[in-house]
Structure 1
Amino acid sequence: MQNRSLTRLVAAAALAVAASTPALAQQVVLKVHHFLPGTSNVHKNLITPWCDKINKESNDRLKCQIYPAMQLGGTPAQLFDQARDGVADIVWTIPTYSAGRFVKSEVFELPFFTRSAKGSSKAYWEFVQKNALDEYAGVKPLWLHTNDGSSFHLTSANGIRTLDELKGLKIRAATRLNSRMLAALGATPVQMPLPAVPEAMAKGVIDGAMVPWEGVPAAKLQEIAKSHVDVPAGQPKFANSIFAFVMNQARYDSLPADLKKVIDTNSGAEVSAWAGEKGFDSVVAPFHKLATERGNQVVALPEAELARWAKATAEIDDQWIKEVSAKGANGAALLEQARGLAKQYDH
């Protein structure tokens, strides 16, 4: 009789513990989708460490299931909508692969705008919080960042040293503002996502690509390209792309408060700056070395020549101001604010 009572008491206590702590037993698995291979720098040094961190800080209650290389289907241009629509819980993408939808955010893609990924990423996050959250309806931005700035990677061993030598070359562009810049410089822009670049260059469909140094190993450009063109040290880079690591808003809203706090702690301006520095700034030198060790020619334009390039693309700022203003925003004021933030953080 005593044993039976004891058994009942133990069972009741176990049920009480289980009933009082259901959340502790439940692991939330987040589907994370992106377009780069699992061997890429962003996958290994940004997305995976972030996922490991939230897993540890949630005591294994938050776990990522990462799907690289578009393994959940679709195209890179559809990633943002996959997060918004719940096909994936979180995505890492270039929002402006969807042309015309992120016109305020794309101010950071204007020519000769940023010097470093760390500074411009923090500026981009702050700019969006103040001016462009409407462009991210349906998702919760976790971190927003830019790259360190695009360089030219060319199949020609001779490379280019002047604006005139660029004319007529078919060059890959990541986004529509990249395309406008190339057209203004006299090149023929061919817009495509990074995964399509290696085959296009190898087959001679394009003569080169605008890609940040971070993307060079992912696209094997140190092998396919024979020459590379950079801006002079310390000068704003030719062009840029914006990146967004965003979560389905409803999925975030469904989390208990303590798990929301883990996500929030690993989101925001400082995490955006981390993504820029860790993912981009810190790999420029080693990835640059990959090219030079193969005997590839790396050219930095003289400052006088760079001034010609900047002058040739000056009208792109005005075009952006007109487009943003046509949608009801004050384009000139937004550009001034974005430049101010870049100057504040991007030394």
Structure 2
Amino acid sequence: MKTRFLKIAAAAALTAAALSPAAMAQDVTLKVHHFLPASSFAQTLLIQPWCDKIAKESNNKMKCQIYPSMQLGGSPPQLFEQARDGVADVIWTLPGYTAGRFPSIEVFELPFMMQSPEATSKALWDYVDQYAKAEFKDVKPLAFHVHGDGVFHMTNKPIRTAADLKGLKLRAPTRTTNKFIALLGGTPVSMPVPQVGDALSKGVIDGAVVPYEVVPAVKIQELVKFHSETDPAEPAFYTATFVFAMNQAKYDSLTPDLKKIIDNNSGQALSGMAGKAFLQADVEGKKMTTKNTTNVISKSELENWKKIGQPLTDDWVADMNSKGKNGKQMLDGAKALIAKYSGGK
């Protein structure tokens, strides 16, 4: 009887141990989905380091399984929905791929808004917190950021003035940039980055506007002959916004200690780091274009472009006003935040 009692007690103790919070806490694997190759700077400089950091801080209780190149299915414009619906646990994408869905943050995609990707990315995080939370209520944002200066990558001739764009078909990432290219005299063609290589090789487009960091992912240096930059002393003629976001239900399911690790590795600091990483990636991407011809569009020409692009800013303010918001206040707020993190420049 005594032996039987001891066996029952031992079994009960084992059951209790198995039901304890520590034992019930399971290792977590986050499915991370994005649209660029595994070799892309987005993965090697942002996504993978983030995953490595949360794994280290959680003693490998929380890890990532990264799915590049849309390996979980769907198309780049569907990534935000995948994070919302739990198809993926974490995604990295451009809000601009779903035109008009995130109008408040398009202020950062207006012509000549961005000069420092790091400062502008920090500003973007704060701006969303102040003005655009509702647009991202269906996910848990981890970071918002922008990339470095946009560059014209052309197959047959460089761009020196707006007149050089006449009659040319150019890929652009967002509806704002599409409108700007049209105002400058070109014919915009909207498409996600993964389609750019095929479109260039088949002559569907005459060029593409992307930052240098995209070059290796698409092998742009092999598909074009000319790279036209804007004067580096001037703000970029365009930039695009990005979101790194998590499925809210997945975050809510984490234990408090794992939630804390996510919280400690998201926000303004991560946003700024992402902007800085993409600037570093531009330097690396540009190195791959040395066999081609590069020119710089002059400051005097860009002054003309600023005048041409002003209606886009006016239209954005009017659009915000029509939605019951204060467009001028939002525009001024974005500029003030950029100035704040740029050291008041």
326, 329, 333: which is aligned to 1:333? 329
- Corresponding residue SS for 2:258: helix
Whichever residue aligns with residue 316 of structure 1, its letter is L
- Corresponding residue SS for 2:30: strand
Structure 1 residue 302, shift from structure 2 partner? 1.5
Over residues 259-285 of structure 1, what are the superposed CA-to-partner deviations in whole Å (9 max), with x where a residue is unaligned?
Answer: 11010000000110001111x111222
Structure 1 partner of 2:87: 87
- Corresponding residue SS for 2:103: coil
**In structure 1, C-alpha distance between the alignment counterparts of 2:91 and 2:329, rounded to whole Å:** 31
Structure 1 residue 179, shift from structure 2 partner? 0.2
**In structure 1, C-alpha distance between the alignment counterparts of 2:322 and 2:107, rounded to whole Å:** 15
Structure 1 residue 172, shift from structure 2 partner? 0.4
Whichever residue aligns with residue 178 of structure 1, its letter is T
CA RMSD of aligned residues (A): 1.8
- Corresponding residue SS for 1:204: coil
Indicate conservation of the 8 Å contact 1:149/1:241, yes or no.
Answer: no
Structure 2 partner of 1:273: 272
Structure 2 partner of 1:236: 235
Indicate conservation of the 8 Å contact 2:213/2:284, yes or no.
Answer: no
274, 284, 287: which is aligned to 2:285? 287
Comparing 6-15 with 231-240, greater Cα deviation is found at 6-15
Structure 2 partner of 1:207: 206
Whichever residue aligns with residue 124 of structure 1, its letter is L
Comparing 303-312 with 185-194, greater Cα deviation is found at 303-312
Structure 1 residue 345, shift from structure 2 partner? 1.4
- Corresponding residue SS for 1:132: helix
Q: 1:233 to 1:343 in 2, by over 3 A?
A: same
Over residues 35-89 of structure 1, what are the superposed CA-to-partner deviations in whole Å (9 max), with x where a residue is unaligned?
Answer: 1111111112211111111111112221211111111111111110111111111
- Corresponding residue SS for 1:190: strand
Q: 1:56 to 1:299 in 2, by over 3 A?
A: same
- Corresponding residue SS for 1:323: helix
**In structure 2, C-alpha distance between the alignment counterparts of 1:184 and 1:174, rounded to whole Å:** 16
Structure 1 residue 99, shift from structure 2 partner? 0.8
**In structure 2, C-alpha distance between the alignment counterparts of 1:23 and 1:197, rounded to whole Å:** 49
Q: 1:313 to 1:261 in 2, by over 3 A?
A: same
| Residues 1:298 and 2:294 are matched in the alignment | yes
1:1-347 equivalence runs, <5 A = 14-22=14-22, 25-156=25-156, 158-278=157-277, 280-292=278-290, 294=291, 296-346=292-342
Indicate conservation of the 8 Å contact 1:214/1:284, yes or no.
Answer: yes
Q: Figure out how many residues of one structure are paired with residues of the other and give that number.
A: 343
- Corresponding residue SS for 1:69: coil
Structure 1 residue 165, shift from structure 2 partner? 1.1
Q: 1:23 to 1:345 in 2, by over 3 A?
A: farther
Indicate conservation of the 8 Å contact 2:18/2:24, yes or no.
Answer: no
Structure 1 residue 124, shift from structure 2 partner? 0.5
**In structure 1, C-alpha distance between the alignment counterparts of 2:225 and 2:4, rounded to whole Å:** 81
- Corresponding residue SS for 2:289: helix
Please list every run of 5 or more consecutive structure 1 residues that lacks an aligned counterpart in the other structure: none
**In structure 2, C-alpha distance between the alignment counterparts of 1:161 and 1:96, rounded to whole Å:** 27
Structure 1 residue 18, shift from structure 2 partner? 3.3
Over residues 84-115 of structure 1, what are the superposed CA-to-partner deviations in whole Å (9 max), with x where a residue is unaligned?
Answer: 11111111110111111100011110011101
Structure 1 residue 180, shift from structure 2 partner? 0.6
Indicate conservation of the 8 Å contact 2:25/2:255, yes or no.
Answer: no
**In structure 2, C-alpha distance between the alignment counterparts of 1:297 and 1:6, rounded to whole Å:** 83
Over residues 124-173 of structure 1, what are the superposed CA-to-partner deviations in whole Å (9 max), with x where a residue is unaligned?
Answer: 000001110100121010111111121111002x4121121112211101
Over residues 219-261 of structure 1, what are the superposed CA-to-partner deviations in whole Å (9 max), with x where a residue is unaligned?
Answer: 1111111111111122101101100011111221121211110
Indicate conservation of the 8 Å contact 1:152/1:211, yes or no.
Answer: yes
- Corresponding residue SS for 2:217: coil
**In structure 1, C-alpha distance between the alignment counterparts of 2:233 and 2:247, rounded to whole Å:** 38
Over residues 169-221 of structure 1, what are the superposed CA-to-partner deviations in whole Å (9 max), with x where a residue is unaligned?
Answer: 11101010010110110110000000000111111111100101111111111
**In structure 2, C-alpha distance between the alignment counterparts of 1:314 and 1:81, rounded to whole Å:** 33
- Corresponding residue SS for 2:208: strand
Indicate conservation of the 8 Å contact 2:169/2:205, yes or no.
Answer: yes
Indicate conservation of the 8 Å contact 1:80/1:91, yes or no.
Answer: yes
**In structure 2, C-alpha distance between the alignment counterparts of 1:21 and 1:177, rounded to whole Å:** 50
**In structure 1, C-alpha distance between the alignment counterparts of 2:68 and 2:298, rounded to whole Å:** 39
Identity of aligned residues (%): 50
